Structure formats: C-alpha cells, structure tokens
Amino acid sequence: MIVSRPISSTRLIRTYNASTVLRVLYKHGSCSRSQLTKLTGMSPATITRIIAELMEQEIVLEGKVGKSTGGRRPVYVHIDYTKVYIGSVKLLQDDCAIAILDLRGQIIERERIVPHTLEPKILLQQVINSLNGLLEHCRINREHILGVGVAVSGVCDSDHGVVLNSVNLGWRDVPVTEILSGGLDLPVYLENDANASALAELWFGQATDATNSMFIKTETGAGVGIIVNKTLLTGPNFMAGEIGHVPLVPNGQPCRCGQRGCLEPYVYFGDIQTRYQEKTNMLIDQEEFIKLVHGGDQCALELVHETASALALACAHWGILTDMDIITIGGLWSQFNEEVMIYCQDYYNSVLESTGISRSIRIVGTKFGDDTDLLGAAGLVVSHWLTPQSVP
C-alpha cells in the first residue's frame, strides 16, 4: 500500500538529488528516466530510486510511453501540478491580497484584504484568518501546500523572515515569518516586493530562459530585483536593488528624501500627479493620465518623456553593470510601449553601440499587471523548493 507522507514536512524534496530532478522536470515538462540521467548527470540507479520516492509521495506521475530504440519503451514522468499548491501574500499600504496558486503560477483563487489597521500583529492575524479561510473554501489539503510566500514593500531580512524597515507600512523589525508560520502551520518565506517581482519573471514570466535578469518596480516608489546566474541577489545587508533614492539624473527633479534626480520622483505617480497639477491646475488620477497621454496631451507627454529618460538611464547604468539578458519594467510605465519601452530599448542599444559592445538585451513590460507581487511571492516558494540544497 502506498502511504502519502505530508509534502510540507518531508525531507525528501529538500535533498540535493530530489530537488535537481524536480527542477529538470519543472523546466522540461516531462522526461524519461534515461533523459533525466543525462540531464542531471546522476546514475540510472539513483534516478530510479528518486523517481520511485517521488511517486510514493504522489508528487511525480508516470505518463505517456515513448517509442522503443531497441530496448524497453521509455515511460515519461512529470510533476502532478494538481497535488502541489502555493500560498501567496502581498502586503502594501494600499494593496493587500492573498492567493492560492499551482506550481505553474496559475492563480486558482485570490482575495483582497482590507486592513483594519496596519499594526503588524493585527494585520498579520487578519492574513492568517483570511488564508486559512481561503484554503478551506478551496478544499485544498494542507499537506499539499509547499509553503507561503510573502512580498512586502521595504527592506527585508529574508534569511530570518523579518521586515527590518518598511516606510510604506510603517513597520520596523517585524518577525513576519514567525507570526505567520505559527498561525498557518506552514513554511513561510519573506522577500522585498521588488525582489519578489524579479522571481515572478524568473519562474513564470519573460525571464525564464535568461541567466541574468532585472525587474524595475515603479509603483509606490522605485526598486530593483536582480537575478544573477538565476539566483536572487540580495546582498549581506539585504540592500541590493534599493535604488529609489540614489541620484541618477544630474540636477533633476527634487525628491522627498531631500536630494535631486532620484528615480523615485520620476516613476511614483503621486509625484507625476503633483507636477501635472502645478503645470495645468488640474488634479487627475492615473486612469485619466493614461488617457491624456494616448490622446496627445502635451503636458502629459512631457512628463512621460521625463520618466522615459530617467528609466532609460537606469536600464543602461544598471543593466550594463550587471550584464543583464533582460530587464522587465513593472507598474504604470510599462503600459506606454512607444513612449517608454521602445525609448528605453533604443537608448540602451545606442549606449552599447557607442561602447563597441556586441550584446543584445531585451527591455520589456511585465505581463502580470497587479498580480506581479502575488506571483513573485509564489516564485519565492518555488525558488526555495526547487533550488537544490542539502539537508542536515
């Protein structure tokens, strides 16, 4: 009789060999045992044992039978995505939500959370109650949840699961994973929202085939998530990518931090809104601004060009410094293809041509829209689950 052990607590999937096999299956979709031997460099006996253990867990299933090349016909195996789920949480001052996703990053169910307060313990208890309720509503076995990813605006100690400082939420030194894991009885992983967005593109989006990729977040402020050798770069102090208040444009727009030329006043819509009102005496919202740009409003177009110029500098400076394959821009500005995206791509190409570097890079807008943070939080769980690591 096959006994299914809890996926969330098993040591098997966290072993180096099993994680390597699962990563190959995740990437290729399905493989025969002989193909897995070639792709992983493991022995046939090791592959046979690992597949047997993963099948016992009901994580891997046998599928179609291939053609014979002289011996036994190969049987292809694949991950059973219907048995593996991820919980996802995003926490921003004006946008809190939870979701249940499958291992492919498809959102099965989502729910917006309207915070009663931003006081950490109260809001996190609200998240616990909502996520437990959503799991019950979806009738998902808790043993089939790999973990819960949390994307937060702010500086996060992802190793210890602590929000060190979030100006957006008004939090400092909040042990998020300790509180959530205690209330959910599930593994919980925490990451800065820009880093989470970079993971969304790495696992589910347009950077899946890239070695080095970057996500520039441009919503409530400015931040960058950096992937190098398919690994998230955070730095020893978790400050990698905190570029919102690093002066970029000489003698540029004044920033709330007291400096001039930071990226934030060029991408944060609140600042754009203020400058448009100063020039026209009209207070507009984001939807109206988009319509004005597409309608050819001169003032709106000038502001978009200012932002495009700043983003082009950011892409060229940081992209060449880190040798990126692809840069994804999120938020409002990714919606302006000709005015922003093509402008940034052309500027980047001209810089490379001037320096004599023979290198191609893609600058694209995210396709995930408002779901980027939720997918990024899920990508954080996938990254932890599928990154080979040894287990003591």
Q: How far is CA 138 from CA 101, 103, 319, 360, 374, in A?
A: 11, 16, 42, 44, 17
Phi first, then psi: give them for residue 340, nearest 5 degrees: -120, -55
Q: Which residues contact 48 (CB under 8 A, 6 or more apart)?
A: 33
CA triple 82-86-89, angle to 5 deg? 150
The continuous run of DSSP H or E covering 287 comes out as: helix 286-294
Distance CA 122, CA 361 (A): 44
CA 178 and chain centroid, separation:
22
pLDDT tens series, the chain, 392 aa: 233 334 433 456 557 788 789 889 988 889 999 999 999 999 999 999 999 988 987 889 998 886 766 667 888 999 988 778 999 999 988 889 999 999 889 999 999 999 999 999 999 999 999 999 999 998 887 877 889 999 998 889 999 999 999 888 899 999 999 999 999 989 999 999 999 999 999 999 999 999 999 999 987 778 899 999 999 988 888 888 788 888 899 999 998 888 999 999 999 999 999 999 999 999 999 999 999 999 999 999 999 999 999 999 999 999 888 889 999 999 899 989 999 999 999 999 999 888 877 778 899 999 998 899 999 999 999 888 877 554 33
| Token pair listed for 134 | 């959503």
Kindly give the pairing relationship between strand 107-113 and strand 95-102. antiparallel
Q: What's the pLDDT at 27? A: 82
How far apart CA 28 and CA 216 sit, in angstroms, is 28
Dihedrals φ, ψ of 241, to 5°? 90, -5
Other CB atoms within 10 Å distance of the CB of residue 189? 24
DSSP 188-216: EEEEEHHHHHHHHHHHHSTTTT-SSEEEE
Whether residue 213 contacts residue 326, with contact meaning beta carbons closer than 8 Å, is answered with yes
Angle in degrees, 0-180, between the axes of helices 33-40 and 16-28, rounded to the nearest 10: 110
The CATH class of 206-367 is alpha beta
Predicted local confidence at residue 221, as pLDDT = 77
CATH T-level assignment (fold) for domain 12-82: Arc Repressor Mutant, subunit A (1.10.10)
User: What is the reported pLDDT for 346?
Assistant: 95
Cα 342 from chain centre? 23
Which residues of the chain form CATH 3.30.420.40? Answer: 84-200+372-386, 206-367
Using left for φ > 0, alpha for ψ between -120 and 50, and beta otherwise, residue 238 falls in left
Name which of 242, 147, 231 is nearest 186 in CA terms.
147
Listed in order, the ranges of the chain carrying CATH 1.10.10.10 are: 12-82
Q: What local confidence, expressed as pLDDT, does residue 321 receive?
A: 87
Please, what is the end-to-end C-alpha distance for the chain in angstroms? 29
Task: Please provide the CATH number assigned to the domain covering 84-200+372-386.
Answer: 3.30.420.40
Q: How large is the angle between the packed helices 16-28 and 44-56, nearest 10 degrees? A: 80
Distance CA 352, CA 369 (A): 29
Question: What pLDDT score was predicted for residue 68?
Answer: 65
pLDDT at residue 6 in the model: 40
What is the pTM (predicted TM-score) of this model? 0.84
Residue located via tokens 């966290």: 14
Q: Positive or negative, the Cα torsion across 245, 215, 217, 284? A: positive
